[in-house]
Amino acid sequence: EREESEIPGWIEKAGVKLLTYSVGNHLLTHDAAELAEQMDVVRDGIRTAAKLGAPYVRVFGGNNIAGFTSATALDHIITCFTSLMPMCAEHNVTLGIENHGGYPGTALEVKTVVEGVNDERFRALFDTGNWLRADQDPIEAVQELKGLIGLTHVKDMIKLPADSSDPEAFSPDRSSIKLKKATVGEGDVPNAEVMQVLAEQGFDGYATIEGEGPGDEYANAEASLAYMRQAVAGL
């Protein structure tokens, strides 16, 4: 809080652009107090993004489906975010919903939520790797979300068998396989092909790299950036 007023100046001096302020909310709860608390997490994110000059706030739906069906979970998420649209307009901020293993998880679910909120300040945040968490092909997902994507996260994953004993493997909630994080360009996510489809769709936003591969973070960042520069060079 002490540094909030200084951060925009630091960013400008560094010559970079702050694109997104991320929050880690979860809205799938029937507990009124907990829901109010989580809605406040998003509201605080909207206010903070406006102070910092970030045009987007990254938001989630929720992981805990207990007490919901798929349909009622999506309806609940739509209702929650719809109520925040006047605040987004007031602060000139757009919410970008990311599929993060829970709901929404598939492209159809993300599309349902974005179209359900039906506001220019609510868009899909297309994370290229997270579709594997829901057993979905990223190319299929980007085609299904044409015209609804506001920004992207680029990451990479390696697909592993469900019985893999790799210590770095994890089991997504909605996938029949295990996954392992990788440096962009070294896994099974067709990131270059996704960029090609986005370009063909007329997407003119940002592709932000999430360098989650093993080893040195700087080396991962350099390798990921080199891969992405090549991937978009001819677009």
8-51 pLDDT tens trace? 999 999 999 999 999 999 999 999 999 999 999 999 999 999 99
The label of the residue with tokens 């295990």 reads 178
Q: What is the pLDDT of residues 53-103, one digit of tens each?
A: 999 999 999 987 889 999 999 999 999 999 999 999 999 999 999 998 789
Q: In this structure, are residues 19 and 55 in contact, taking their beta carbons and an 8 Å threshold?
A: yes
Tokens encoding 143: 């085609």
pTM of the model: 0.94
Return the number of other C-beta atoms located less than 10 Å from residue 31's C-beta. 10
